[in-house]
Amino acid sequence: MRLLDGKETSQQLRNEIAEEVEKFVAKDNRPPHLAAILVGNNGASVTYINAKIKACEEVGFASTLIRLSDTISQAELINEVKKLNADESIDGFIVQLPLPDQIREDKVIMAIDPKKDVDGFHPQNLGRMALNMHAFVPATPAGIVELLDRYNIETGGKHCVVLGRSHIVGLPMSILMSRNAYPGNSTVTICHSHTRNLPDIVRSADIIIAAVGRPKFVTGDMVKDGVVVVDVGITRVVDTSKKSGYRLVGDVDFDTVSPKAAFITPVPGGVGPMTIASLLKNTMIAARRRGV
Ligand code: GUN
């Protein structure tokens, strides 16, 4: 078994981006600028946003964090989005999800200028991605593809089982793995809450992408020898022995699955850091397109 080390790979990627920023700025461009809107105080969202802002600083990006009350209305939030669309000092921005119940996420996403949608959530970007056109690819799937690429994982003709059909991971991941590209050219099965015989399907997988948000959902008896496993799960489970009071648990039971796997991502230190690096990469692309 070999680890797909997202921490180390994301550091390489971030070093490459930092070099690119240096060259970009040396040509009299202002640094790439990412803005993030955070609504409310959801613990996980605060952690992710802080990590994203810190990553910006490390590669030489400018960043702006906009914190809004969780009582904000949908119209007010969309107004904030429109301000960022119009702000020429900002290359790309994200609205951290989930949003409070009074706000429809799709309405907010639709208000984002696709050229600044570095999360790749706007239908225009998802549609373009599906058609293999230039597009911002959502950061988590983009990070997974980058990880598979950097470890030279064979994907052509393989059976890839994606667990979960969320708009931000499962759905785009299934498209990326099936499109005519590398990584890609896999035969993809998406499993979800209505899937029958799920363990049998997972047992036939050469590559498993687990993104269901259920701790230790995939167990050793559900996988075949030599499988490649990507664990997107990051559920917080109470753990009083930790300073934070919780630990992060993936969708895969690492102890029983890893002995059978050829490659597997750890949690933490697998997909998470790759997501952040991919967001930076998308923002760099947005900055390069400035004025185009
Ligand atoms: N919530 C969980 N993952 C993400 C992400 O990649 N982007 C945003 N905006 N919100 C998220």
Q: Residue 292: which pLDDT band, with cuts at 50, 70 and 90? A: low
Ligand 1: list residues with CB < 6 Å.
94-97, 119, 139-140, 168, 275
Mutate-to-test residue for ligand 1 from 97, 167, 171, highest number of ligand atoms within 8 A of CB: 97
Q: pLDDT per residue over 51-60, tens digit each?
A: 999 999 999 9
Q: Which two tokens stand for residue 148?
A: 């598979």
- pLDDT averaged over the chain? 97
**Ligand 1: which residue has its CA nearest to atom 3?**
97
Residue 173 CA, ligand 1 centroid: distance in Å: 15
Equal fold, 27-113 vs 139-272: yes
Indicate the pTM of the whole model: 0.97
Burial grade of 113 (CB within 10 A; 0-12, 13-18, 19 or more): middle
Domain 139-272: CATH class, spelled out: alpha beta
Residue 98 CA, ligand 1 centroid: distance in Å: 8
Domains of the chain, residue spans: 27-113, 139-272
Question: Of all helices (H) and strands (E), which one includes residue 59?
Answer: helix 43-59
Mean pLDDT of 221-234: 98
Ligand 1 atom closest to residue 97's alpha carbon, by position in its atom list? 10
Q: pLDDT per residue over 169-190, tens digit each?
A: 999 999 999 999 999 999 999 9
Ligand 1 atom closest to residue 36's alpha carbon, by position in its atom list? 9
Q: pLDDT per residue over 4-16, tens digit each?
A: 999 999 999 999 9
Fold of 27-113: Rossmann fold (3.40.50)
**Ligand 1: which residue has its CA nearest to atom 1?**
97
Mean pLDDT of 191-203: 98
- In the chain, what percentage of residues exceed pLDDT 70? 99
What is the structure's pLDDT at 151? 98
Mean pLDDT of 94-122: 98
34-43, 74-83, 173-182, 283-292: the lowest-pLDDT one? 283-292
Residue 96 CA, ligand 1 centroid: distance in Å: 5
Phi and psi dihedrals of 39, rounded to 5?
Answer: -100, 120
What is the structure's pLDDT at 290? 84
Q: Is 205 within 8 Å of 227 (Cβ atoms)?
A: yes
Region for residue 164 given its phi and psi (left: phi exceeds 0; alpha: psi -120 to 50; beta: otherwise): left
Give the strand order in the sheet containing 261-264: 2-3, 261-264, 227-231, 207-210, 159-163, 187-191
What is the structure's pLDDT at 291? 60
What is the structure's pLDDT at 62? 98
Mean pLDDT of 212-240: 97
